[in-house]
Structure 1
Amino acid sequence: MIGSFDCMYWQWKNCPTGWAGEYSGRKRMPTIILEAVASYDTWIWHAFFGMPGSCNDLNVLAKSPLFDELTAGQATQIQFQVNNRIHNLGYYLADGIYPQWATFTRFSIVRGAACGWDRDDLRYIMLTYIILHNMIIEDERPDDSDEDLESDEEEDNTMRPRLAQVWEGPTGEDFDPVGIDGYYFNGFMDRYDAIRSANSHSNLQEDLIEHFWNVQGNMEI
Structure 2
Amino acid sequence: MFNLQVAQNEMEEEEDKKRRRRDDEARMARASHSRRVIQVVAHRPSRSANTDRSRQRRGKDLLDDYFVRNNAFPDTYFRRRFRMERHLFNKIMIAVCNHDSYFVQKNDAFGVMSLIPEQKIIVALRMLGYGAFADQVDEIAKMEKSTILKSLMRFCSVIEFIYTTEYFWRPAQMDLQRLLKKGEM
TM-score by length of 1: 0.28
RCO higher in structure (CA 8 A, sep ≥6): 1
Identify, as 1 or 2, the structure richer in strand: 1
Name which one, 1 or 2, has greater alpha-carbon Rg. 2
Structure (1/2) with the larger helix percentage: 2
